[in-house]
């Protein structure tokens, strides 16, 4: 798979999830806003803003020429998605209130593996 396709997937996922977390914290978790304390709701919104930022970085760098900076962004996003997949997997076993941890862990792991494979194949020659 090409790196620009993986970066596009990461961007769409990041921006989409970020907008959901920003505009409707708790959506898809079965938790209503009346049961979410204000600090948790604010934390979910901050997480959404972070996801939007990472999604925009992936979107803006997707068609860039190979360079050390491009490799660094790819590596950073790969590590982010890998760690996020591990965190979601951990959540599956420790947080029974959210049934979607398996889905999130699988999607994040697939994005991490895709970014790793595509990034390794298209690394700049001067790295």
Confidence at residue 86, expressed as pLDDT on a 0 to 100 scale:
94
Q: Where are the domains of the chain?
A: 3-121
- Quote the pLDDT of residue 39: 66
**Angle CA(9)–CA(14)–CA(20) in degrees, nearest 5?**
125
pTM: 0.83
Q: What is the pLDDT of residue 24?
A: 80
Give me the pLDDT at residue 47, please: 83
Residues 43, 48, 51, 52, CA torsion sign: negative
Q: Give the pLDDT score at 58.
A: 95
What is the enclosing helix (H) or strand (E) of 83? helix 68-94
Average pLDDT for runs of 10 along the chain of length 127: 92 93 71 60 81 95 90 94 93 78 91 94 70
pLDDT at 33: 56
pLDDT score recorded for residue 46: 84
Q: If DSSP states are collapsed to H, E and C, what string results for 15-77?
A: HHHHHHHHHCCCCCCCCCCCCCCHHHHHHHHHHHHHHHHHHHHHHHHCCCCCCHHHHHHHHHH
d(CA 72, CA 78): 10
């Amino acid at each position: 798979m090409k790196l620009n396709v993986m970066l596009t997937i990461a961007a769409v996922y990041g921006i989409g999830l970020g907008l959901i977390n920003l505009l409707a914290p708790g959506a898809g978790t079965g938790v209503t806003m009346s049961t979410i304390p204000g600090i948790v709701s604010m934390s979910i919104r901050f997480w959404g803003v972070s996801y939007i930022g990472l999604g925009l970085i992936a979107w803006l760098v997707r068609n860039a020429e190979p360079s050390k900076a491009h490799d660094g962004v790819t590596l950073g996003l790969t590590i982010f998605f890998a760690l996020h997949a591990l965190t979601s997997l951990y959540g599956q076993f420790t947080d029974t209130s959210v049934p979607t941890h398996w889905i999130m862990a699988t999607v994040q792991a697939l994005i991490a593996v895709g970014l790793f494979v595509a990034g390794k194949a298209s690394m700049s020659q001067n790295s």
